[in-house]
Amino acid sequence: MSPRVRRLAIGLGNPGTEYEGTRHNVGFDALDRLAGRLGLLFRSPRHLDGWNGTRACSVALSKEGEGAWPRAFALAKPQTFMNLSGEAVLALQRWAGIDPKDLLVVYDDLDLEPSVLRLRASGGHGGHNGMRSIIDALGTNAFPRLRIGIGRASTDAVRHVLGRFQDSERATLEVALAEAGEALEAWLGGEELDRLMTRFQSRWTQGG
């Protein structure tokens, strides 16, 4: 099957207003900021040509070559809740007709200091249930990912990831989301991952 998009960026989070602004939803936030800057709107995938996935997600298509395939890229936010992200991602990957290496996942990471960014070509799930679900569904961990640090919990990890950022953290977070959007836009535009990692990593010097 010919690809319907050349590259696909997927942000992880939980659907619903009760989860908006939580640490676990920074993947959604990064894609929302990027879509807003590019003038793209997220819509139900039922409008997509060739879509037959059974799991909910929101998808925004690039405008270049509108009406023709393949599009340059798509942005997607699974609406399956975090622990079932893999079901939506597999449906998206099959619809897009791309290899996992052309799919990049954006998500929160407890092991990075707040708002620190890390871009990698592959890797394990690191205890993140959304990433565990995706790796299991795709049958591989060889796909790019952009991690956004949310810091370690001082008490309960679940309470921490489902909590909202403090007002004192917002300014730093907005900078991180802008940096994430810049890196994503370059990758979606066709820049090779190795080159992108080299170019951005000098900015992102903290964390592990």
Work out the pLDDT band at 68, boundaries 50, 70, 90: confident
Strands lying side by side in the sheet with 145-149: 57-61, 71-78, 5-11, 103-109, 145-149, 117-120
Q: Which pLDDT score is estimated for 54? A: 67
Q: Which residue intervals of 49-128 are DSSP H helices? A: 85-96
Among 27-41, 48-62, 89-103, 110-124, which stretch is predicted with the lowest mean pLDDT? Answer: 48-62
DSSP string computed for 134-176 = HHHHHT---S-EEEEE----SS-HHHHHTSBPPHHHHHHHHHH
In this prediction, residues 182-196 reach a mean pLDDT of 95
Among 102-116, 151-165, 181-195, which stretch is predicted with the lowest mean pLDDT? Answer: 151-165
Q: Which pLDDT score is estimated for 208? A: 41
Distance CA 1, CA 96 (A): 9
Distance CA 119, CA 207 (A): 12
CB burial of residue 108 (10 Å; 0-12, 13-18, 19+): buried
Provide, rounded to the nearest whole percent, the portion of the chain with pLDDT above 70: 94
Distance CA 130, CA 179 (A): 22
Give me the catalytic one of 24, 47, 128, 160: 24
Work out the pLDDT band at 169, boundaries 50, 70, 90: confident
Report how far Cα 106 is from the mean position of its chain's Cα atoms.
3
- Residue with more model confidence, 94 or 156: 94
In this prediction, residues 56-71 reach a mean pLDDT of 81
In this prediction, residues 46-58 reach a mean pLDDT of 82
Distance CA 102, CA 171 (A): 31
Average pLDDT taken over every residue of the chain:
91
Q: Mind listing the domains of the chain with CATH numbers?
A: 5-201 (3.40.50.1470)
Q: What are phi and psi of 53, to 5 degrees?
A: -70, 150
> Contact 71/6 with Cβ under 8 angstroms?
yes
Q: What's the chain's length in residues? A: 208
Work out the pLDDT band at 55, boundaries 50, 70, 90: low
Does the active-site annotation cover 160? no
